[in-house]
Chains A and B, each alone.
Chain A
Amino acid sequence: MSLGNGVSGAVQALRMSPTRARVRAVWNAVFLGACYLAAIVVLVPLAAILWELLRRGLPGLTPGFFLHMPKPVGEPGGGMANAIVGTLILVGLGGLFAIPVGVGAGVYLSEYKGGRFATAIRYLTDVLAGVPSIVVGVAAYGLVVIPMGRFSAVAGGVALGIIMLPTIVRSTEEVIRLVPRSYREGALALGAPRWRVIQGVVLRAARPGIVTACMLAIARAAGETAPLLFTALGNRFWSTAIDKPIASLPVFIYDYARAPYDDWNRQAWTAALVLVLLVTVMSALLRLTVRRTRRR
């Protein structure tokens, strides 16, 4: 590793001319100023997005939006009750697939962490988290839609499950690691077998964190659109059957935002606001739980 220009610059400073000192002082100010500026520039578009979400989404946030069905084309009003229920069913199915597997893998990674297999799985989990969600959708299409012969909520659930998996694995691992070693040592010293130690002591201590981690994964998956386009498809009608196409919030936003009706566009903004609230509240909860546990 080279020590860089900073140190050699500093060494030169010992025999430095007044102009050189001034140049360095100016460069210092410019650099620090640019960093301040960058931090501000980053916040502007993000603040703009949140502002527009509130400005355009808030007026439509009425009880009816959650309770009514979509109206036929051309009729104003209506809600997205079916899309909300559809999203709940989809993430429920996804969670059903991903939570047992993900928590198990998280336990493995944190409690049996030494081996080469664990390192490989941890690495692969992180790489899997970077696979585009549309590709996961295509895979779920091949895995479920083609054998079943039609689009279905199950296919969407499988896609969302694969997307949830890396988040659940890694955050489960993280919260289990926060359980103090002394808990494990105490239980082992009492003569408990290792599986009892993990199941009865470690997991019990980590339970609130694991629950929040799963909630976060579910909330993130609830915002996924791409993998649902050709698995769960979408549905303008009430449906809770898991072997049929089903509506979902993100696909609802996509369809309504592209539609040439102002009223539909407004509803898309409201649905987007609901999604963002859901995801950010969950993420904030997880972060705060992890932090509190860490402090203890």
Chain B
Amino acid sequence: MKRRFPADALYAGLVGSAAACVLAAAGLIFVVTLQGSIPALREFGSRFLLGTDWDPVAERFGALPYIYGTMVTSGIALLLALPVGLGSAVFLSEIAEHRVGAAISFVMELLAAIPSIVYGIWGFFILAPLLREGLEPWLIAHLGFLPLFQGFPFGIGILNAGIVLAIMIVPTIISISREVLLATPSSLREAALALGATKAEAIGVAVDAARPGILGATILALGRALGETMAVTMVIGNTNQITGSLLAPGATMASVIANEFTEATGKLYLSALIEVALVLFLITFVVNALARALVYWATGARREAAAAA
């Protein structure tokens, strides 16, 4: 027989409504940014996303240079971080001794918690001079025939932002990929080894099985790169242009908000910036929702096994 206590229902309602507050927080962010961007939505419609003009004086706003900047810097970051991060995750989960793997992962998690402004001042004071005097002149001299590497070695710009973002998202890729790799059954590797596979081939089997989770980790890292603000704002140079060169300064959606929000005079200007925030919110929301679903799916099996044990 089960006794019922009225206070139980009350308590469940109380903590349940706390949980509902999380829902409310997400809802409020959407509603408030949507409401704030109504004037810009009315005025520009779809021209907002496709226009390249950003002229506060004439009150013409097109966000394409910022969308371009966000996409390109995040793309560079993924391109640099993915191979290195994946290799490290394989090293930590498959090759290194468990103790070493756990210790390095611990350090990685600490590094993931470093505030982005700190990466920003490092990129601004340390990385920018290195790029200006080392890498960028070399790129111009040797690969300057490509449009990607034409221009002047400023040190700050799209390339710097991409590198700083890569450093920032690598811990995310490593820690989740390692989790997912550890979640694949060891019988896969054992079977491959028993058939005479080399160690690399056996790891290949495990990586194959972990692919959805690794994809999830990658998209999650992408989400972080897309919305990253302070580090990028400090190293990207903040100009609204689409040049096609990685060496040129640029701006991202997040950086233009950080830079111009407090200076935005005029209702339409402010509304345009809020619409940039809305677009950024929607993009990162979709990206994160997708990534989380993949990671849940990939690690869910192990969690259930652990719960049953």
The residues of A with any CB-CB pair to B shorter than 8 Å are 1-7, 9-11, 13-14, 24-25, 27-28, 31-32, 34-39, 41-42, 45-46, 48-49, 52-53, 56, 100-105, 107-109, 111-112, 117-118, 120-121, 123-139, 141-143, 162, 165-166, 169, 191, 193-195, 198-199, 219-220, 223-226, 229-230, 233, 250, 253-254, 257-258, 265, 268-269, 272, 275-276, 279-280, 283-284, 287
**Nearest chain B CB to A110 CB, angstrom units:** 10
Q: Is the contact region of chain B dominated by helix, strand, or loop, or is it mixed?
A: helix
**Is B33 within 8 A of A35, CB to CB?**
no
Question: A269's contact among B21, B114, B119, B121, by CB below 8 Å, is which?
Answer: B121
Measured CA separation A49–B8 after assembly (Å): 51
Q: A193-B5, A226-B258 are in contact. Are A6 and B201 (CB under 8 A)?
A: yes
Kindly report which residue of chain A lies nearest to residue B289, judged by CB atoms. A127
Task: Assess whether B261 is in contact with A230, with CB atoms less than 8 Å apart.
Answer: yes
Seed contacts A9-B197, A279-B115; 9 additional CB < 8 Å A-B pairs: A4-B208, A107-B18, A112-B12, A133-B229, A138-B257, A224-B115, A272-B117, A275-B115, A279-B113
* B167–A138 touching, CB < 8 Å: no
Cβ-defined partner of A275 (8 Å) among B36, B96, B118, B280? B118
Is the CB of B262 closer than 8 A to any CB of chain A?
yes
| Complex contact A142–B32 (CB within 8 A) | yes
CB < 8 Å A-B pair total: 313
**Residues of A with C-beta under 8 A to B125:** 52, 56, 257, 265, 269
Among A4, A191, A254, chain B packs the most CB atoms within 10 A around the CB of A4
Report the separation of the CA atoms of residues A42 and B84 in the bound assembly, to the nearest whole angstrom: 7
In the complex, per-residue mask of B1-42: 1 if CB is within 8 Å of any chain A CB, else 0: 001010110111011111111110110110011011000000
Residues of A within 8 A of B92 (CB): 39
Per the CB 8 Å criterion, the residue count for chain B at the interface is: 101
A-contacting residues of B (Cβ < 8 Å)?
3, 5, 7-8, 10-12, 14-23, 25-26, 28-29, 32-33, 35-36, 83-88, 90-92, 94-96, 104, 106, 109-111, 113-122, 124-126, 167, 170, 174, 191-192, 195-205, 208-209, 220, 223-224, 226-230, 234, 254, 257-258, 261-262, 273-274, 277, 280-281, 284-285, 287-289, 291-293, 296
In the complex, chain A residues whose CB is within 8 Å of the CB of B14? 104
Q: CA A198 – CA B22 in complex, angstroms?
A: 21
- In the bound complex, CA of A177 to CA of B121 (Å): 39
* Cβ-neighbour of B197 out of A13, A35, A198, A287 (below 8 A): A13
Asked if B115 and A193 sit within 8 Å, CB to CB, the answer is no
Partner of B258, one of A9, A101, A229: A229
Shortest Cβ distance from residue B111 to the other chain A in the assembled complex, whole angstroms: 5
Q: In the complex, how many angstroms separate the beta carbon of A120 from the nearest chain B beta carbon? A: 8
Nearest opposing residue in chain B for A224, CB measure? B115
Which 8 A-B residue pairings sit nearest by Cβ, starting from the closest? A132-B227, A38-B87, A104-B18, A223-B115, A195-B11, A130-B288, A10-B195, A193-B5
Evaluate whether A226 and B289 lie within 8 angstroms (CB atoms) in the complex, with A4-B204, A39-B91 already known: no
Complex-state Cα separation, A199 to B11, whole angstroms: 10
In the bound complex, residues from chain A placing their C-beta under 8 Å from that of B227 are 130-135
Are A276 and B22 in touch, CB under 8 angstroms?
no
Q: A108-B19, A223-B117 are in contact. Are A46 and B197 (CB under 8 A)?
A: no
Residues of B within 8 A of A120 (CB): 23
9 contacts between A and B (CB under 8 A): A4-B205, A6-B197, A34-B87, A35-B91, A127-B285, A130-B227, A134-B277, A193-B8, A195-B10
Q: With A130-B227, A134-B254 as given contacts, are A112 and B15 in contact (CB-CB < 8 Å)?
A: yes
Whether the pair B91, A36 counts as a contact (CB closer than 8 A) is yes
Q: Are B121 and A272 in contact (CB under 8 A)?
A: yes
Distance in Å: Cβ of A36 to nearest Cβ of chain B: 6
Query: Do B197 and A107 touch across chains, with their CB atoms under 8 A apart?
Result: no
Whether the pair B15, A11 counts as a contact (CB closer than 8 A) is: no
Q: Are B258 and A105 in contact (CB under 8 A)?
A: no
With A133-B227, A280-B114 already in contact, the answer to whether A39 and B33 are too (CB < 8 A) is: no
Asked if residues B33 and A135 are in contact (CB atoms below 8 Å), the reply is yes
- In the bound complex, how far is the Cα of B11 from the Cα of A283, in angstroms? 31
A194 and B11 in contact (CB under 8 A), knowing A104-B18, A126-B292, A131-B281? yes
Residues of A within 8 A of B257 (CB): 134, 137-138
When C-beta atoms are compared, the residue in chain B nearest to A273 turns out to be B118
